[in-house]
């Protein structure tokens, strides 16, 4: 399985990759590969990072106001 994020989510999350890398004790490039969909999500570390990326995307993406 590979990550699928919209272009807006990728732009927003790119700024969070260094903090996630420090938190999970991995390289910034590893997080970016997961974010871009260039890395399979088949290890425990990749699954944890992907889960956190999805959570951050939901939290940081601007929502349109409901009418």
Q: What's the pLDDT score for residue 62? A: 81
Dihedral of CA atoms 56, 51, 43, 28 in degrees, nearest 10, equals 0
pTM for this predicted structure: 0.85
What are the domain boundaries of the chain? Answer: 7-60
* Cα–Cα distance measured from residue 58 to residue 26, given in angstroms and rounded to the nearest whole number: 23
Q: What's the pLDDT score for residue 26? A: 96
Q: What's the pLDDT score for residue 61? A: 82
User: Which residues of the chain have a pLDDT value below 70?
Assistant: none
* Cα–Cα distance measured from residue 45 to residue 60, given in angstroms and rounded to the nearest whole number: 22
Q: What's the pLDDT score for residue 25? A: 96
Question: In which residue are the tokens 């004790």 written?
Answer: 25
Q: What's the pLDDT score for residue 66? A: 76
């Amino acid at each position: 399985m590979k990550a699928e994020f919209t272009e807006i989510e990728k732009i927003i999350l790119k700024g969070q990759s260094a903090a996630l890398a420090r938190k999970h004790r991995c390289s910034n490039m590893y997080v970016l590969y997961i974010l871009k969909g260039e890395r399979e999500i088949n290890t425990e570390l990749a699954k944890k990072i992907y889960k956190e990326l999805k959570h951050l995307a939901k939290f940081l993406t601007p929502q349109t106001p409901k009418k």
